[in-house]
Chains A and B, each alone.
Chain A
Amino acid sequence: MGDAQMEEGDNTREIEVAPALIAVDPAQRSVAVAVGSDLRVYDLIGDCPVSLVDDSAKPFHSDSIRAIRYDASGKLFVSAGDDKLVKIWSTDSWFCISSVCCEKRVSAVAVSNDGLFVCFADKFGVVWVVSLKGDAENQALADKKAAPMLAHYCSIITSLEFSPDGRFIVSADRDYKIRVTVVPKNPLDGAHEIQTFCLGHSEYVSCLDFIHSPDYPHGLLISGSGDSTVRLWDVTLGSLLDTCEIGSKFDRRFTFFLKAELSATDGIEEDPCHAVTDLCTCPNGTSVALAVQSLKGIMLLNCNLSAKTLSMAKVVLVEGETLIPTSLGTSLSEGLPWRVTIIS
């Protein structure tokens, strides 16, 4: 699990390239992509790239960006990563309204549904919170100070999500755990009340998202893991509602399209890994798109909110290319998932 590496501080750095990330504005005005330390935003309305403006002490990102997201209203955008900076941008002017310094590299970010708090997790498993209250948009602000809100002891947090009803914040880590914590009135004082844990994954949890619809406003939690499963949870009780085994969904028709990993030692092709690397739920409340390791395409699952089940819908392959998606985002109107790929 790499705990020993964490102790050595920044001396032992992974040589791997940070996966490319994509985020889609819920108001569909723009799409953001992060490749390494480069943040690129495309204006969908004006059909042109956006020029980001950042006149803070440390402008833009100087190292791999590990997490990007828009807030629920689409008015704010957050980017953070290995340069230990969390940058908050206004999506009207694309001006960096705040830069928060973190002691450690940042692995995940989330914005509260009301857009008042930004949470981010550092590599020691501490989730910090910074308040945006009282800030007028498009105004430069003094660099903010974050307060520790909760922690997963010495675990790398891979994903942070607020529940659709705003009651809970969910954090997932590389030690197979998902923690559901009650969002307090003042998050700056700490989120001490744990609602439940969602336990059951047998490998690192890589991604989380809520699926909800107007009929089911509280929604259900969906998690993807290195154990090749996607699981459906009730976050008030921590109960596992359904499990979708990705590995077993592949039959011989699909294995042809899977890029088999060559064994490092003897060059013999091993079974492809079916770890789930990213997922996103489509806002129509019925579909889930998955990025699966070694799958040259995306997998779609159906979620039935009333029956509380998950089932495989189909696999959408990207033919003729050797690209494997690393990050997914959805657009509201067409209900079609966007994807980003890296050259493998």
Chain B
Amino acid sequence: MIEKETTSTFNKSTGLPRKRFYRARAHSNPLSDSHFPVPLSPSQFDYSLHYPQLVPAASDDDNPKRIQFADIGCGFGGLLVALSTLFPDKLMIGMEIRDKVSEYVKERISALRTTNPGQYQNISVVRTNSMKYIPNYFEKGQLTKMFFLFPDPHFKEKNHRRRVISPHLLDEYAYTLAVGGIIYTITDVEELGEWMKGCLENHPMFEALMEEELENDLVVKLLTSATEEGQKVARNGGQTFQAVYRRIAPPL
């Protein structure tokens, strides 16, 4: 008896969740209060829930492991999965506001952990509005990498203030990144690319990476190739615009 594979939300052979059961609109209104729990402060974030193997619950560690990489608007999790094996000793998290999509990433990570014992233990996802709650998750200077891949362009001028990269929000990202930490942004929308670059260029606590540094950074190549969005753009032969900046100490 051949089982009807089409009704299962998981692919029987790979064990991975099937995207079509987690279809969601590209948009979610970040201003509407969708009731997801938010930690009151970074010390309240439950590491053992997200990284059970790497951060056991009852640990007396004086110097516990902390998340260092954050993918803001992680979508279906492509970048996290690629980064996981590249930096196996670093804890990473994806933040995604869409319910179904964050569910998909959760299932994907869970399935990968099952089919690859010992691997993918360092990545997780949380459903949240990163434009409001980043300080609730991360201490000052905690992150060493922040990713903003193909964010919502918010084309209308009146909606520009809703863009995830903006002069005011860069203050918060500068707070969250350690000095020397790197912010990676990429988009296929030229105007947005110029906007993001402009915001970063004008912010006193970010400076652009040199060409040489970009070439030597393993992660830069992943910006276009690792995510579903990036792969779609490549398939359609589209151009991408990236802005990669380093967090620096504020000028005196």
Contact = CB atoms under 8 A, between A and B. Distances in A.
B9 to A, nearest CB: 32
A264 to B, nearest CB: 21
B31 A194 contact: no
Contacts of A238: 140
A192 B171 contact: yes
A161 to B, nearest CB: 18
A176 B40 CA distance: 8
B167 interface: yes
A200 B33 contact: no
Nearest to A2: B33
A124 B40 CA distance: 22
Contact of A4 (B31, B171, B174, B205): B31
Nearest to A181: B171
Interface residues on B, range: 20 to 34
B131 interface: yes
Task: Categorize the interface residue count of chain A.
Answer: 20 to 34
B132 A196 contact: no
B171 A154 contact: no
B6 interface: no
B136 to A, nearest CB: 6
B41 interface: yes
B199 to A, nearest CB: 12
Contacts, number: 65
A3 B32 contact: yes
B222 to A, nearest CB: 28
B167 A1 contact: no
Contact of A192 (B41, B131, B132, B250): B250
Interface string B149-180: 00000000000010000011111101100000
A175 interface: yes
A42 interface: no
A135 interface: no
A197 interface: yes
B41 A199 contact: yes
A199 B137 CA distance: 11
Interface string A134-160: 000000000000001011011100000
Given A3-B31, A4-B31, A190 B135 contact: no
Interface string B188-226: 000000000000000111000000000000000000000
Contacts of A154: 31, 131-132
Interface of B: 31-33, 40-42, 131-132, 135-136, 140, 161, 167-172, 174-175, 203-205, 250
17 contacts: A124-B161, A150-B171, A151-B168, A153-B131, A153-B168, A175-B132, A190-B167, A192-B174, A192-B250, A193-B174, A194-B175, A196-B140, A197-B135, A199-B41, A199-B135, A200-B41, A201-B40
